[in-house]
Chains A and B, each alone.
Chain A
Amino acid sequence: MAPAARKKAYVKTLKDGQYQLMVAGRPFIVKGVCYNPIPVGESHDYDFWNDPAQPWLVDGQLMKKMGINTVRFYQPGEDMAAVRRVVSDLYKKFGIRTMMGHWLGFWNYPAPFYDDEDFRKKVKADVLAMVEALKDEEGILFWVLGNENNYSFSGKINSWSSERIDKIQDPRQCLLARAETYYTLVNEIAQEIHKIDPAHPVVMGNGELICLDVASTFAKDVDIVGCIIYRGKTFGNIFKTLKNTFDKPLLFVEFGADAYNAYEKKEDEDMQAYFLEYQWAEIYRNLGGTAAAGDGVGNCIGGVMFEWTDEWWKHDEWDANGLSVHDTESNWSNGAYYFDIKADRNMNMNEEWFGLVKLLPEEEKTSSGQVLNKRVPRKAYYAIREFWRHPSKSSSIKSPERPAAAGKNKR
Chain B
Amino acid sequence: MRKWIVGLAVLLAVGWNVCAAEEKAAEEKATGEVKSFPVYTDAKSPDNHYIPSGWMGDFGDLSMDDKYMGDPHSGSTSIKFVYTAKKTQNQGWAGVYWQNPANNWGSKKGGFDLTGLNKLTLWMRGDKGGEVIDKIAVGGIKGTYPDTTEVSVGPIELTTTWTPYTVNLAGKDLSYINGALCWVANADSNPNGATFYIDDIKFEYDPALKPAGKKTQEMPFYIYADKGSIQNHFIPSGWMGDYSDLKIDVGSTDNPYFGKTCIKITYDNKATNGARWAGMYWQYPANNWGGVDGGFDLSRAKKLTFWARGEKGGERIEEFKVGGIMGEYSDSDTAGIGPVVLDKEWKQYTIDLTGKDLSYIIGGFAWATNLDVNPDGAVFYLDEIKYE
Q: Which residues of A contact B (CB under 8 A)?
A: 154-155, 170-172, 175, 231-234, 236-237, 240-241, 244, 334-336, 338, 341, 403-404, 409-411
Contacts and interface: CB of A to CB of B under 8 A. Distances in A.
Contacts of A231: 326, 330
Given A154-B318, A409-B237, A410-B239, A338 B356 contact: no
Given A171-B316, A172-B339, A403-B143, 10 more contacts: A232-B327, A232-B330, A236-B326, A236-B331, A236-B334, A241-B333, A336-B327, A336-B330, A409-B237, A409-B238
Contact of A411 (B239, B340, B357): B239
Interface of B: 106, 142-144, 146, 237-241, 243, 287, 289-291, 316, 318, 325-328, 330-334, 337-341, 355-357, 372-373
A359 B106 CA distance: 39
Contacts of A234: 326, 330
B290 A336 contact: yes
B326 A404 contact: no
Contacts of B331: 236
A175 B339 contact: yes
B144 A404 contact: yes
B243 A411 contact: yes
A172 B340 contact: yes
A119 B341 CA distance: 31
A233 B331 CA distance: 12
Nearest to A172: B339
Q: Tell me the interface secondary structure of chain A in the complex.
A: loop
Contacts of A244: 355
Nearest to A411: B240
Nearest to A159: B372
Nearest to A334: B326
Contacts of A232: 326-327, 330
A232 B240 CA distance: 19
Given A170-B341, A172-B340, A231-B326, A411 B356 contact: no
Q: Which 8 A-B pairs have the closest CB atoms?
A: A336-B326, A171-B339, A237-B357, A409-B287, A237-B333, A404-B142, A411-B240, A244-B355
Contact of B289 (A175, A236, A409): A409
A59 to B, nearest CB: 31
Contacts of A409: 237-239, 287, 289
A336 B331 CA distance: 10
B146 A404 contact: yes
Nearest to A155: B372
A338 B328 contact: yes
A233 B243 CA distance: 27
Nearest to B288: A409
Contacts of A410: 239-240, 243
B168 to A, nearest CB: 26
Given A231-B326, A237-B332, A411-B243, A404 B355 contact: no
Contact of A154 (B143, B144, B326, B339): B339
Nearest to A230: B326
A171 B318 CA distance: 9
A175 B143 CA distance: 45
A147 to B, nearest CB: 21
Nearest to B106: A404
B340 A233 contact: no
Contacts of B290: 335-336, 338
Contact of B238 (A171, A341, A411): A411
B149 to A, nearest CB: 16
B289 A335 contact: yes
Contacts of B291: 338
Contacts of A240: 355, 357
Contact of A171 (B144, B289, B341): B341
Nearest to A403: B144
A49 B238 CA distance: 47
Contact of B330 (A172, A233, A341): A233
A244 B353 CA distance: 12
A411 B144 contact: no
Contacts of B355: 240-241, 244
A104 B219 CA distance: 46
B325 A335 contact: yes
The winner among A155, A170, A335 for most chain B CB atoms within 10 A is A335
Nearest to B340: A172
A411 B144 CA distance: 24
Contacts of A236: 326, 330-334, 357
Given A154-B339, A172-B339, A335-B289, A241 B328 contact: no
B350 to A, nearest CB: 13
6 contacts: A171-B339, A172-B339, A237-B333, A335-B289, A338-B289, A338-B328
A338 B327 contact: yes
A126 B339 CA distance: 34
Contacts of B372: 155
Contacts of B357: 236-237, 240
A234 B290 CA distance: 12
A357 B76 CA distance: 68
Contacts of A341: 289, 327
A155 B373 CA distance: 11
The winner among B146, B318, B339 for most chain A CB atoms within 10 A is B339
